[in-house]
Amino acid sequence: MSIPFNKPFLSGDEFNFIRDAIESGQISGNGKYTKLCQNFFNEQYGFKHSLLTTSCTDALEMSAILLNIQAGDEVIIPAYTFVSTANAFALRGAKLVFADSSDLHPNLDVQSLEPLINERTKAIVPVHYAGTSVDMKGLMALANTYNLSIIEDAAQAIDNYNDQFEERKALGSFGSLAAFSFHETKNIISGEGGLLAINVNNLKSRAEIIWEKGTNRSAFFRGEINKYGWVDLGSSFLPSEIISAFLYAQLNQIKKIQEKRQAIWSLYDTLLRPELEQFGIQLPYIPAYSGNNAHIYYLVCKNLAQRELIIQALKDKGIHAVFHYQSLHRSPYFKNKHDGRTLPNSDRFSDTLLRLPLYYELESHQIIWICHIIIKTLHGKS
């Protein structure tokens, strides 16, 4: 029996919806399925506006253009994240200021951000790691005090919420902008794909223009203007209807997908939490204010050697468990540009965090077997 780290879930309706898109005669972007998906997100999660994109990377790049991020600006981002969070702002010439993770989990340590803010700071980009909410109450207060934009990197955070405010709010509805991913490794997929959520009304029309290559084509098709042209900077950020049709087939099953992933996550947790803490392993920490969308089940090992031991023991049985990010402030591209501050928690998660297989088809007996191998290995038996 071999167990991959990830296996894409298929709802069964993907081909039907793609066929319908093809037969309807429009397969370029911004057609029926794009609108169905965008309406779903607005209604389900309370985003003011939604634009599908070809990736979360693109949604982040759109955000940087939309907020006029430019040379001389500073943007605060966690060091423990995917390169796209950083590239989007570096591409506009901004200076990246990397911040550390919390002791308890890989999300930004919001309490430590204030000293990083100065008059050049324009934005903070929180990443909801493993879909777990960042301390949005602390972060939004900071953003208000210093008049900063918040762009949520919600790549992993679909269908999750935060409870720190009067009413429960979906992740991705806090920042003026939020970026989601539908890459095949995420909970809801379209192969490659993404979403830009726009939560302030005054960014909507320019977002559409940037999305449509810098033209006012969207307004033209709504009949609001009688010709369209080049009115601003932009690029080609919208996915074809074939991708949107695939995504819509997934969205129709989101409840089923999330329930299954949550059951898998809980079984791991039930089996591992009581057994692993004695070995100095930290299990996922979910603050009381955050829901759990079961994107990742991870262990934070005692040290690198312990992580290697577990990876190898699983690999010997054909089970693929993987580590995650390497701190970006120490990356080959950035290490000479970093200001020299140490970011110990980010480095610790780089060396010790391990992700276990988690996908829709993973069966209970496989999870039990994975946990058994981990526990046995830590007890020094093989």
Ligand X SMILES: *Cc1c(COP(=O)(O)O)cnc(C)c1O
Q: Which of 34, 55, 258, 350 binds ligand X (CB under 6 A)?
A: 55
Given a contact cutoff of 8 angstroms between Cβ atoms, the answer to whether 117 and 91 are in contact is no
Q: Which of 156, 176, 293, 345 binds ligand X (CB under 6 A)?
A: 156
* Choice between 58 and 374, CB closer to ligand X: 58
* Choice between 48 and 183, CB closer to ligand X: 183
The residues, ordered by sequence, that sit 6+ positions from 331 with a Cβ below 8 Å of its Cβ are 83
The minimum distance between CB 48 and ligand X, in angstroms, equals 22
Given a contact cutoff of 8 angstroms between Cβ atoms, the answer to whether 157 and 131 are in contact is yes
Longest dimension (CA), the chain: 74
Q: Which stretch binds ligand X (CB under 6 A): 82-90, 221-229, 308-316, 335-343?
A: 82-90
Q: Which of 11, 38, 81, 306 binds ligand X (CB under 6 A)?
A: 81
Examine residue 328 and tell whether it contacts ligand X (CB under 6 A). no
User: Edge to edge, what strands does the sheet with 177-181 contain?
Assistant: 49-53, 194-198, 177-181, 149-153, 121-124, 74-78, 95-99
Examine residue 244 and tell whether it contacts ligand X (CB under 6 A). no
Q: Which of 29, 31, 106, 194 binds ligand X (CB under 6 A)?
A: 194
The minimum distance between CB 167 and ligand X, in angstroms, equals 26
Dist. CA 315–CA 204, nearest whole Å = 48
Q: Which of 57, 121, 173, 258 binds ligand X (CB under 6 A)?
A: 57
Q: Which stretch binds ligand X (CB under 6 A): 148-156, 169-177, 240-248, 308-316?
A: 148-156
Examine residue 181 and tell whether it contacts ligand X (CB under 6 A). yes
Dist. CA 83–CA 242, nearest whole Å = 27
Which of 67, 30, 68, 69 is CA-nearest to residue 50? 30
H or E element at residue 99: strand 95-99
* Binding positions for ligand X, rule: CB under 6 A: 55-57, 81-82, 84-85, 127, 153, 155-156, 181, 183, 194
